[in-house]
Amino acid sequence: MNSLTERVEKTIVARKLFRRGEKILIAVSGGVDSMALLRLLFGFAEKYKWQLVVAHLDHQLRGRGSDADERLVVRVAEKFHLPVAVERADVKAFAKTNKLSIEMAARELRHDFLARTAAKMKIKTIALAHHADDQLELFFLRLLRGSGAEGLAGMKFSRSAPGHPKIKLVRPLLAESKSALAEYAAENKIPFREDASNASLDFQRNRIRHELIPLLRRSYQPALDRVIGRAMDLVSAESDFVNSEAARWLAKRTPFENLHIAVQRRCIQLQLIRHGIEPDYELIETLRISPEKPVPVSPQTAVWRDKSGESRRKNFVKTAGASDHQKRFNLAGTTGKFEFGGATIQWRKSTSRAFSIPRPRVGSEVFDADCVGSIIVLRFWQAGDRFQPIGMSAPVKLQDLFTNRKIPREERRSLIVATTADGEIFWVEKLRIGERFKISPETIRRLQWTWKRP
């Protein structure tokens, strides 16, 4: 069997991932995958006349551990006499401000850092260390989130960076397993840092990695990697074909009703993206099946498609007296009442003398008042909102919760969302309260919350 070095070089040459003599920015976290990638590309650099630059983003998530990651990457880059670009980012603050999971916030900041660094250094190619195990995990992660063909097709060996069409993302290790990279690192005495969070089951990707995939391999399909890899190849090719047909329709505008359903959906999806609207499945289906029917996507915006297939967006001008999309309220004192979004909400605070679980009541909830705080914000659902309802182990997309509860699309935008002063959702109308805000033995003050609609 060929060695890892031979296989990776063959992949690079066969797929034409890098040009001879080009400048390559290598994303290096300090983990075994990226440290192996750095060593491999450094070993090929002289042969192919590549100019390598190392890039490392400190996510500031693990204190001294993050600092040690940075020191390792810088030390190895200096050992290889390679220039290194280092930057630090407050991932937790970014996640809270933008209502993202830690994983998603880290990903966005990392991609932004790499794209900016590449542009600044006039580098057109970024090398990433994603491997075959990452691809498998991503498939199930997206499958469970309800992704379409584009998502299930997975990562590609080479593609343009999102938002930066002149910069190319390259994944030379995508055909290699995690175990092969670890074995290579051990054989070549490559130093690396292990991120302890990779073992935490608080993250859905880790639960897929440590629980779901081993179960499927053990009890259902020992050749899971090969079977899923083949399925992803098929989905990818078919998705590319649908994309090309949709692009052809957008250029020529033949009768929309004559298109295959898959092409109709992709045409609507592409148009929604152009309008800056998140193209989820239910919205696409509503527009596809019901032409001329406006669908609200926010309190001020609706979208519809005409019979020719053209999707249109309309922004409503707020009239005098219309309720604001978002309002701040002060829960000072022990009781109060306010109106928002067509509902009247009354609240009352009381001291908790003994722990007891509140009895469920229609139109009423009880929170830990100190977790909620004295300043709250009431608003409506926004694309990308994530919420952790009571009883769930991690936040999920609010859109997915609406779908699971079979709440009609036209009703979702009118439901009230309550957040703390720093933006964390603690209550969603029709969906109960947030896990972190429930009554517990440590609760000192309770917030009784009742609401009514005409």
Query: 102-120 and 91-98 helices cross at what angle (nearest 10)?
Result: 110
Q: φ, ψ for residue 445 (rounded to 5)?
A: -125, 140
**Under 8 Å between Cβ of 89 and 109:** yes
Q: What is the pLDDT of residues 165-190, one digit of tens each?
A: 889 999 999 999 999 999 999 999 99
State how far the Cα of 291 lies from the Cα of 4, in Å rounded to an integer: 54
Q: What is the mean pLDDT of the chain?
A: 86
pLDDT grade for 278, boundaries at 50, 70 and 90: confident
* Residue 6: exposure state from Cβ atoms within 10 A (0-12, 13-18, ≥19): exposed
Give the pLDDT score at 64.
80
Structure tokens at 453: 């609609």
More confident residue, 124 or 275: 124
In 121-177, which ranges are continuous DSSP H helix?
Answer: 132-144, 149-152
**Model confidence at 118: pLDDT above 60:** yes
pTM higher than 0.75, yes or no? no
CB atoms within 10 A of CB 425: 25
Q: What is the pLDDT of residues 220-276, one digit of tens each?
A: 999 998 899 899 989 999 999 999 999 999 998 899 999 999 999 999 999 988 887
Nearest-10 Cα torsion for 185, 191, 196, 197: -70
Q: φ, ψ for residue 100 (rounded to 5)?
A: -120, 160
CB atoms within 10 A of CB 426: 25
Structure tokens at 449: 């919350």
State how far the Cα of 5 lies from the Cα of 20, in Å rounded to an integer: 18
| Beta pairing class for 125-127 and 23-27 | parallel
**Range scoring the smallest mean pLDDT among 58-72, 334-348, 352-366:** 352-366
**Under 8 Å between Cβ of 284 and 265:** yes
The residue with tokens 């439901």 is 415
pLDDT grade for 415, boundaries at 50, 70 and 90: confident
More confident residue, 316 or 315: 315
State how far the Cα of 454 lies from the Cα of 445, in Å rounded to an integer: 30
